[in-house]
Every structure is written in structure tokens, then in C-alpha cells.
Structure 1
Amino acid sequence: MCGIYGTTLQYNEVQIKEKLQRTAFRGPDKMGWKYYSANYPVIFGHNRLSIIDLDPRSDQPFTYFEHIHIVFNGEIYNFKTLKESLSTKGYQFRTTSDTEVMCAAYLEYGEECVEHFNGMFSFVIFDTKKQLFFGARDRLGKKPFYYYHNGKNFEFASQISSIQLHHHDLTISSEAIAHYLAWGAIPDPKTIFNEVKKLLPGHSFTFQLATGEFKDRCYWDIDYQGKSQFSGSYEEAKTELKNILNDAVSTRLFADVSVGVFLSGGVDSSLISAIATQSTSEKVKTFSVKFNEKGFDESKYAQQVADHLKTDHHVIECNYDEGIDLIKNFNHYYDEPFADSSAIPSMLLAKHTRKQVTVALSGDGGDESFIGYHRYSWIMKGKRIHYLPLPLRQLGSKVLELSPNYRHRVIAKALKFKTIDDTYLAAMTGVDLSYLKTDIDYKDVEELKYLFHNNKNLLERVSDFDIKTYLNWDINTKVDRATMAYSLEARAPLMDHRVVDFARALPSEYKMHNGNQKRILKDILYESVPKEIFDRPKAGFTMPFSRWFREDLKDYVLSELDDNSLKSIPCIDIEEVKFRIKQHMDGTWDRYPLIWSLLVLKQWLNTNCKNIPIK
């Protein structure tokens, strides 16, 4: 896990060093860069977090066969198998790293090399013979990739702040701000700057130095058309999935540094922990967060799982002052506006886990692929309600709007949508966004094609949609920034593309049956951990922001979001926002998600808007 950077623009050595230092937390073990002057000026830079082959021989930028130069962020989990195959074809290796194997794979397979990689990655290869860049981003978008292309020059980085520094041709995107306020994150391929984009997950690209031509292509996607269907029995599906999971976990346990597991006590992290203990003879280190607030502390369940699995368990107590400090410095690590408040406890978990290990396995990806979120249950209930005629639902909506319970009033708004698909989309962007004051269509995203079609049933469509939107835009961004802020590598076995592909092919009832969500994952888990531990409602990973914003941080919120501050935020109806903040403070409606998103945006604008225009 590292930070990569490269450019064809003219920067001096001091500027390049500052660009790399801006995200040095991603790779504190070695910072390096190289100038290549073969016909066109090229600079590659790298911040290394040493995980595999700790020897300096594997430092980057890395050169193979004299004309192949690479900067790479991530891990290729099947690199040993690839290396054996490439060795039989005559390739020789002088390191034990996956980086060198990627170079050989590129020489052997060309652009199709990415289809041979099982891992999380973003990388760029400079082929001096062909005078081109070839790069790619992993299938699920675990690793970030930002780029600037003006038709002639090209600049790329793991985080947008490296591109932003010393760059004078950028403008802040009002369209991105509108999308952020709706989605809570900026959808790919957009970024906060009009001139910078994100490479889409499952895409590769080429950039021709001679012509400045940039081309990208999709090399992988989920099967949203439903062409691949598993035809075996439930027991056969369990056996096959167990085999895939065992390999996904065991390959992710390999490292030349210490490895642990995030253990929340939920189904996904408990399953990963159980498989990890079965995959190694060493005692597995597990980590969870403890909150002192009533209703937020799930650490006792993690402890029960850890006790059963006999792991070396570490409980990290959430410190209020530490959490507040992270809130006020949030944008140093999340260098685009990002509104998922669970990023704060994620950062606390990463910060203290890093004191013990350099790599941590997580359970991310299980909810999306195996239908685990609460919203999948209520969307099926909502589907039945939507069989009622629209006028009747509108009448019910008017009645619920009179309720003092804000949840009832949310349901009232949901009842007004014509179709259940529209309702789900509104739920993911916010059922009531009347505080947005913009003509920008924030629902205009390419990923709608995964939701609005008739190739699959509703459960499969919303699951596909979440994989391509919520998992990529939100979860992956949250985990990457939170862990890399403290130079900790996070690996997610449930996001192995083989797991995702298999889950997409399974019948829905193998994943959700009679209200039992994540059925197949649970049944595999219960072979190792008692079912009784999990007989409780599913919990989220959050902090008591509702109370904090109403009590401890009330003055902070009101000063940060006063009239003058709100006037500086584009795309909002100031009076409506003020009304919603008042609702939160007097306890009539829980508006903490809106307050948090505005605090983050205002903080980002304060830092970045002084010399950069908004367009």
C-alpha cells in the first residue's frame, strides 16, 4: 500500500518533493522519484509502505528490462502463481515482490495483464519503447486513481491534493458540490475539480506521449444483465463459496510484516476472523472500537467472538477529545468533501491498530454482495406498499406528515414516489433534498443503469447498484483514507472479485430467505462461531454525533454554520438549511447527516477556496 504520482508537466524538484510529501502518510518507509527524458519529460514518484519484499531493491519507481518503469499502489494477491507461470515462459526475477511480477505480466500479456491480477491496485507503467503510459484501477475500486488531462499533458496521483499542489489551472466544480450534498460523496468519475477526474473501477487506460491522446476501456464489470446463474444446490453453493473465501483470506494473510483483523462482532468481520484463525498456526490479532455512549458500544460482541476464536484481541476506547481533533483536521486526509461520519471511528480504529500491525483484514463488501443492509429488508416491504394505487399512497402520505415522529414523516415523503426504484434512489441520495438550490441534476449518474432495468429482480438490482455506487464512492474512500492516514494497509477478502462474481450469480434466496439476510454467509460462519452470539439487531459503525451536535458541539456547529458561513456554500437554500439546523437543536428532527456534510464542505472550502474559483 502506497501513494503514487506522475506527470508530464514541468515542475521543479522542490515542487515534486512537496507533492509527494503532501501524502507521505500513505507510504512513510521510502519517498522516491525519477526523471525520464526519453523524448518527452516524464516524472514518476512514489511513497512506499513496505509490505512485501522489504528490501530496497523493490523500492519504486521500479524498472524492469530497462524500458518498463512502474509506480504501483496496492497488492496482487495471486502474484506467486503468476510468477511461477511467467517463469516457465522465460521471465527472470531479482526480487520477491509483486511489483516485478506485474511488469513481466505486462510484457507477456500487454493491456490484458490486468485480467490476470487478483488484487487491489492502481498503477501506471511507462513503456519507453512504445512511448506511452499504461495504467489501471482494480475491479471494485479499492485503490484510488486521480488524473488531470488537458489534451496534451497528463498528471496522476493516489490523492487529489498531490495534483492540486502547484497546479494553477484548476477550478472548483459546483456540479460536484451538488452531487456531494446529495450522495454524501462525489460520484466517479467526477472530482471536486472540473479539470481532474477519477479513473473508473475496472478500467485501464493508455496515454500516448507523442499525441497526448488518452483512452480508457472497461476490462471488468459485474454481471448486471443476469447472464451468469449458479444452478447448483444451496449446499453446493456453500461449499464453493467456502473454498473461494478460504483462498481469499489466506492469500491476504501473506505479508512480510505483521497482519491483524478488524473485528466489530458483526457477521462479516467475524467470518473473516474465523477463517483467518483456521488459515494460520499463529495467534491472530483482532481489533475493535469501544464507545462509552449507550447504544453505540458493540465491543462486547466482538469480545465474545474473539474469546470463542481465541484471538489476541485489542479493544480501542474511543476518546472524545481525540475524536474532536479528527473532526477539525478531517480534510487533511480526506482531501475531497466526504460526508460519511463513520470515517471518524474508522480513523480511530486505524490509528491504534497501526501500533500493533501494518496490515489489517476487514469485512467490507459483505453487505452489498450478500444483501445485508437494513434497507434491503424495508425496500421489499416498500415494494408491497407500492402495489397500492398512487392516489391512495399520497393520501397515506398526508396522514403521516402530521405525525410528530420524524421517521413517519420520512416515510410520508417516500410514499409519494411513483415506483419502488425511484424510492430506493431517493433513499440513497436523501428523500427530501429541498434544501438544495440548484438546476444541476444530481441523479444524472451512469450507474443508474444497474438499477433501472428488468434483467433482475429488485433485490439483485439494488445490490448491484450499491456495489457500483455506495461501496465504491463511499466505503472504499472511507477505508482507504482512514487506514492510509496512519500507514495501515486494509485488505478486504469479501471484495475479492471471485466472491463478488459468485454472489452475483447466486439465487436471491441463497442470500436472503424469509427475512434472514446474508443467509449463506451466516451459515458458513455458524460452522465456526455459535449462532447465539449474533441473535441481535444489525448495528452500524458510528459515533454519537446527533447528541454531540446538539450538546457538546452545539456552539461549534452554530459558529461554523452561521449566516456568513452558509452564504459561502454553493447550491443550498440558506433559510431552509437554517431551519433544519434549528430542528436538530430543538430535537424535533435528527439532522446530523446534513450538519456533518455541511461542516466537512465548509472546512474544505475554507482551506481551498481562497485562490480557486468555483464554476
Structure 2
Amino acid sequence: MCGIYGSTISYNDETVREKMGRISFRGPDYTGIKRYDKVVFAHNRLAIIDLDTRSNQPFTYLHLHIVFNGEIYNYKDIRKDLERQNYQFRTSSDTEVICAAYLAYGADCLTRFNGMFAFVIYDTLKNELFGARDRFGKKPFYYAHDHGDFEFASQPSQISIHRDLNVDEKAINQYLIWGYVPEPQSIFAEVKQLPAAHYFTYQLASSKLKTTEYWTLDYGWKNKFAGSYDEAKEALEVILADAVKIRMNADVPLGVFLSGGIDSSLIAAMATKEIDHVKTFSIKFNEKGFDESAYAKQVAQHLGTDHHTIECNYNDGIELIENFNQYYDEPFADSSAIPTMLLAKHTRKHVTVALSGDAGDEAFLGYHRYKWIKQVNNLFYAPHTIRKAIGGIINQSPKYKHKLIAMGIAMEDVENLYVKMFGNMENSWVKQPDLAKYNSLMHVLTNPSKPLLERISDFDIKTYLNGDINTKVDRASMAFSLESRSPLMDYRVIEFSRSLPTSYKYNSGNQKRILKDILFDRVPAQIFDRPKAGFTMPFQNWFRAELKEYVMDNLSEQNLKNIPGIHVKRTQEIIQEHMTGKWNRYPQIWKLLVLSQWLIKNKKSEQKVSLVA
């Protein structure tokens, strides 16, 4: 787990070190800079596997040079195959295996890798850069391709140093809709994200750049699982056990994030079968309704783990809010990033690697909203005119939840309702909301080959998991030099979940059915006999109490006027609706706070930042 950088621009070593210093938290163990002809590579290392200096990067294998961020979990198996083909190795690292696999299989090597990664190889014989990003975008990759030059980095602020970049107003528009800047855009007009599950080639002689997708979800449901439920459970258990096992390979201390929910508890239970004395970590809030630490403790006691509970209050939250943009680089509106950062900060005091339960909800239909949309879907058999009339009556209620219901049943179809209600796409404050990204993904939501819940799951994996969850966890964990690994995001687990009949995952209101049954063979079911809770901060309350003055100061009329593309008056109404208790608008307020602070910080920076339409 590291930070990478490379460029064909003739920056001196001092400038390159400045760019690497910007993300020193991603890899504090070693910084390497090397030049090859017209290319410079740099790397900040967080040593996890093969701690010897021989595995420091940039790394050279025959005529290949590489910088690599991430982990290839199945590298030992790939290495054995390569050794049978007479490839030789001088380290025990996965970095060297990537290079040999590239020589053996070309771009097809990517389909053999099970891991999280962003890397670039300079092939001196081909005079070409070859780079790739993992299937779900767990590791970030940004690049700028202009004026015949190519520059890439783990985070966009590296590229912004000593360059005049323009803040992209279209990206701000997308952020206001999605809560993050969706790929392939970045907050800067000149900088792009390499999409997840894509690779690129860059010809140094011609400056030609080409990107190619190498993997995607089975949207057509061509590979349906045909076995019984018990057979599916047995098969998934085998895949999950191996997904956990290969992610526990590390030459540094390792632990598990344990929220007390289904997913993290299952990972913790499987981890205890692999090693003794597993360390587990959970976070505790003092506010009622937000604290699940007692359940995490129950699970930990049953499994016999060395458990650590981290307490959080609003003072902890305010400190991280004020430094939020230092680590996230781009506006990012998921407020659960704050408790994730707190969890990472304190976990890092004990371990360097932590397993998480991310992706369980998306892949196995665990969110509340899946149950809600399943129930509401029946209403959409009624004509639109009747639903609009009923919505108009319900809207007369002063309660914001009733108003949400009224707005929902008046929508044209259930797919648009899902995006509006659960994609946080409240856009009445945006002057000209750009829905191009959403429209480009409508084929996923309206796919006739799958039932509603499967389509929504595909959509969430493609958008929410990729753009939100993985961005949140990567920045939050790497802010404190902690590597986070998610067994449930093993591509074999995701592909298997996508092949299963819906009833194996969601049956008569029983969500994540198959995961629960695997877990309950290991941990008593009664521990989980409670409503599902999200991993979030109590901002809804704090913004009306302890943090009210902070909110009003930062979102003054003048600061709102500095945000391009919004209706200031409508935005002020949204803030007041929250403060008076009329609506719960904390997601919109958090979104505004992050964006306003990012714009202020960047306008005060030395670089020249202007807005482009």
C-alpha cells in the first residue's frame, strides 16, 4: 500500500519530492525516485510484504520499471505458474510477480490478478507505459495528458503542484448530485481518473493514449447459479474462506474492523480460524441510536478476539472536519468518512493492516433501501396520474418523511425514484443539474434481463461502491498509513453474488440471507436480532446544536455565493429547513461544508485556480 507518481515532464528531483511529500502519509517507510530516459517514477512505500529494501520501488525487472500501489493477494499462485515457465525471482514481493506476469501474458495478466491495485510499467523495449486499475476502483489513479506529456499520481493534488490547473465547474455540478466526483472526471479540468477495471497504454514516441476496459459485471445474468440454496451456501463459504485467508498474508501486524454487524462479524469469525489472537476494532458514539459498540463487544467476546473500542465525540469530529481536504484532495460528501478516519487513526496504533466488511450490503442486498424499494415497487403498477394525485394529498403533511413519500410515489418510475431518494440527488439547489452520468448508467437500472433488486445492486456496485465506499476507505485509511482489505470485495465473491437467485440473498424480508446463515454457524444469531444501523456520525443532531455556529459561519451568504452553479436562496432555505427541524438536511449541509472549504483552500493556494464552464 503506497503512493505512486510518474511523469514525462522534466521536473527536477526537488519538485518530484515535493509532489511525493504531499502524500507522505500514504507511504512513510521509504521514498524512491528514479529516472529512465524521458520518464521519472516515484514511490512512497508502506511496507507490508517483503519488508526488505530489495522490494523498494521504483522497481526494475529485466527491461521493465514499475511503480505499484496495492496488493495482489494471489501472487504466490501466479508466481508458481510463472516459475514453471522459467521466470526467475529475486524477491518475495508481489511487485515482481506483476512484472513477470505482464511479460508472460501481456494485458491479460490483469484478469489473473486478485487484488486491489494501481500500477504503471515502463516497458523500455516497447517505449510504452502500461498501467491499470483494479476491478472495483479500490486504489486511485489520476492522470493528466496534455501538450504531448503524461503525468500520473495517486491523488490529484500531486499533479496540481507547479501546474496551473482549472477547477472544473462540471465536476462541481457532478459532486453536488452524486456526493463525489465520478470517474473519469476529477475536480480539475485537466486531470482525469482512470476508470475502475481499465488499463491504458501510452506511446512515448507519439504521445498517444488509449484506455481499455478489461472486466465488467454480468449485466445480462448469463452465468446464473443453477444449484440449490445449500449448494450455494457451501460454495460461497469456500470462496469467502479463501478470500479472507489470502488477505491475511502480511509481514506486519494485522487486525479486523468489527462494527458488530453481519459483514464485519463474518470476516472476524473467519479470520479467527486462520490465526490466533486476532485484534478487532470498533468505534463508540455517546449519542443514542448511533452506538453499536456493545454488539461489537459481544461478537468479540464470543470469538475471543483482543478487542479495542474507540470513543468519538464532536470535538474529535470537528478536528477531522477542519483537516478533511488535506487527505481527500477532492470534495467528498460521505460524512461516514469522519468515523472511518477516526477508526483508522486509532487502529493504526496497533496494526498496519485491517480487514473490513465492505461490499456486503451492495452484493447481498443488505441496505434498508432495498427492502423499502421492494415494498414501494407495488405502487408503481398504478397509473402515474393517480400516484401524483395521492402524492399531492400526502404532501400536505408537515412531516418531512411524509413529504419524501409524496415525492416518491409521484415519480415517473421506480428506477428514477431509487436514484432520487437514495442517490442523495436532491438537486433543487443546483441551477442546471447535469445528469449525463446518471443517464449513461440507466441501462443498468432498466436492464430487462434482471429483476429490480438485482438491477439496483448492479447500479450500486458500479456507482456507490466504486465512487463512494472505496474512495472513503482508501483516503481514510491511508491518511494514517493503514492498509484496509475487504474480502467481500474479492471479485470471485462479487461475481458469485451476482449469479445467485434473488431469494438466496433476500427472502421474505430477510436481507443478506446467505451471509447470515454462514455467520450463524459461527456466532449466535440472537446477537444480531436488532435493526440494522449505518456507520455514520450524529451530524443530524450536531448541526442543530454543538456545530450550529460552525455551520452558519462556514455557509454564510458570501461563502455560498462563491460556490458556482447553485441557487443561493434555495440553498439557504435548505439549511434553515434543517435548523428548524422541518427536514433532515444534514447530507446536503455536509456536502456544502466540504465543497466550500475545498474552494476556499484552493483559492488561497499558490496555484492559479479559475473556474471553467
Instruction: Judge same fold: TM > 0.5, yes or no.
Output: yes
- In the alignment, is the contact (CA less than 8 A) between 1:146 and 1:159 conserved in 2? yes
Q: CA 1:431 to 1:158, structure 2 compared with 1: closer, same or farther past 3 Å?
A: closer
1:125 aligns with 2:121: yes
Q: Please, which runs of 5 or more residues in structure 1 have no aligned partner?
A: none
Which of 46, 64, 67 is residue 49 of structure 1 equivalent to? Answer: 46
1:554 Cα deviation (Å)? Answer: 1.0
- In the alignment, is the contact (CA less than 8 A) between 1:148 and 1:197 conserved in 2? yes
Matches within 5 A, 1:90-101: 90-101=86-97
1:287 aligns with 2:281: yes
- Secondary structure of 1:126's aligned partner: strand
- In the alignment, is the contact (CA less than 8 A) between 1:105 and 1:113 conserved in 2? yes
Cα deviation, 1:178-218, whole Å, max 9, x if unaligned, reads: 11111111111111111111111111110000001111111
Cα deviation, 1:108-150, whole Å, max 9, x if unaligned, reads: 1111111111100000000011100001000111111111111
What is the identity, as a one-letter code, of the residue corresponding to 1:61?
P
* 2:79 aligned residue: 83
* 1:58 aligned residue: 55
Count residues in correspondence: 609
1:197 aligns with 2:189: no
1:384 aligns with 2:385: no
Tell me how far apart the structure 2 counterparts of residues 50 and 443 of structure 1 sit (CA, whole Å): 37
1:442 Cα deviation (Å)? Answer: 5.3
Tell me how far apart the structure 2 counterparts of residues 319 and 571 of structure 1 sit (CA, whole Å): 34
Tell me how far apart the structure 2 counterparts of residues 225 and 302 of structure 1 sit (CA, whole Å): 38
- In the alignment, is the contact (CA less than 8 A) between 1:172 and 1:612 conserved in 2? yes
Matches within 5 A, 1:445-594: 446-594=440-588
Tell me how far apart the structure 1 counterparts of residues 201 and 318 of structure 2 sit (CA, whole Å): 43
- In the alignment, is the contact (CA less than 8 A) between 1:178 and 1:442 conserved in 2? no
1:445 Cα deviation (Å)? Answer: 5.2
- In the alignment, is the contact (CA less than 8 A) between 1:179 and 1:442 conserved in 2? no
Runs of 4 or more consecutive aligned structure 1 residues displaced over 4 Å after TM superposition: 442-445
Which of 96, 102, 105 is residue 109 of structure 1 equivalent to? Answer: 105
1:319 Cα deviation (Å)? Answer: 3.6
1:272 aligns with 2:267: yes
Tell me how far apart the structure 2 counterparts of residues 538 and 85 of structure 1 sit (CA, whole Å): 44
- In the alignment, is the contact (CA less than 8 A) between 1:206 and 1:215 conserved in 2? yes
Q: Compute the RMSD of aligned alpha carbons.
A: 1.1
- Secondary structure of 1:279's aligned partner: coil
Matches within 5 A, 1:20-419: 20-37=20-37, 41-65=38-62, 67-150=63-146, 152-168=148-164, 170-280=165-275, 282-419=276-413
What is the identity, as a one-letter code, of the residue corresponding to 1:471?
L
**Which range moved further: 424-433 or 409-418?**
424-433
Cα deviation, 1:328-357, whole Å, max 9, x if unaligned, reads: 110000100000000000000000000000
What is the identity, as a one-letter code, of the residue corresponding to 1:546?
Q
Q: TM-score, normalised by structure 1?
A: 0.98
1:10 Cα deviation (Å)? Answer: 2.0
Tell me how far apart the structure 1 counterparts of residues 423 and 486 of structure 2 sit (CA, whole Å): 26
Tell me how far apart the structure 2 counterparts of residues 605 and 445 of structure 1 sit (CA, whole Å): 28
* 1:12 aligned residue: 12
- In the alignment, is the contact (CA less than 8 A) between 1:144 and 1:159 conserved in 2? yes
1:504 Cα deviation (Å)? Answer: 0.4
Identity of aligned residues (%): 58
What is the identity, as a one-letter code, of the residue corresponding to 1:401?
N
- In the alignment, is the contact (CA less than 8 A) between 1:287 and 1:315 conserved in 2? yes
- Secondary structure of 1:102's aligned partner: helix
1:452 Cα deviation (Å)? Answer: 2.2
What is the identity, as a one-letter code, of the residue corresponding to 1:217?
T
Q: TM-score, normalised by structure 2?
A: 0.98
What is the identity, as a one-letter code, of the residue corresponding to 2:123?
D
Q: CA 1:444 to 1:293, structure 2 compared with 1: closer, same or farther past 3 Å?
A: closer
Tell me how far apart the structure 2 counterparts of residues 151 and 520 of structure 1 sit (CA, whole Å): 53
Q: Please, which runs of 5 or more residues in structure 2 have no aligned partner?
A: none
What is the identity, as a one-letter code, of the residue corresponding to 1:88?
R
- Secondary structure of 2:381's aligned partner: coil
Which of 423, 428, 438 is residue 434 of structure 1 equivalent to? Answer: 428
What is the identity, as a one-letter code, of the residue corresponding to 1:36?
Y
What is the identity, as a one-letter code, of the residue corresponding to 1:211?
S
1:269 Cα deviation (Å)? Answer: 0.2
Q: CA 1:97 to 1:443, structure 2 compared with 1: closer, same or farther past 3 Å?
A: closer
Cα deviation, 1:148-172, whole Å, max 9, x if unaligned, reads: 111621111111111111112x211
Tell me how far apart the structure 1 counterparts of residues 183 and 199 of structure 2 sit (CA, whole Å): 15
Tell me how far apart the structure 1 counterparts of residues 442 and 52 of structure 2 sit (CA, whole Å): 46
What is the identity, as a one-letter code, of the residue corresponding to 1:276?
A
